[in-house]
Structure 1
C-alpha cells in the first residue's frame, strides 16, 4: 500500500509540473508560447487525473495510516 502511495505521489508531481508548463504555454511573454488550443486540451487532460489522485490519496491515508 505504501508503494501505491509513493507511485501516486510521483504521478501527481509529474502531472502538476506538466499542467504548469501547459498552462504557461498560453502566456505570450514566455519563450514556449503556442497560439494553438493544444495547451488548453492538455489542461483538460491532466486536471481530471489530478483531481482523481487528490481524492484517492486521503482515502489511502485513512485506510492504512500512511503518512
Structure 2
C-alpha cells in the first residue's frame, strides 16, 4: 500500500492533482483494485522517461511499454 501511495504522490506532482482529484482517484482505486497496477505501471514509466507530448503524438502507456520491450 505504501508503494501505491508513493506512486500516486509522484503522479500527483506530475499532473498537479488537487485535493478533490486525489480523493476521487483514491476512491476509484479502492473500488477498482485493478487500477493499482495501472497507477504503478504509469508511475514506473514516468520514472523511466515516459512522457506523452505533442512530439511523440501523445504516446499511450501501452505503446510506450511495448517499445521498451523491443
TM-score (norm 1): 0.30
TM-score (norm 2): 0.29
- Which of structures 1 and 2 has the bigger CA Rg? 1
Which structure is higher in RCO with an 8 Å CA cutoff and minimum separation 6? 1
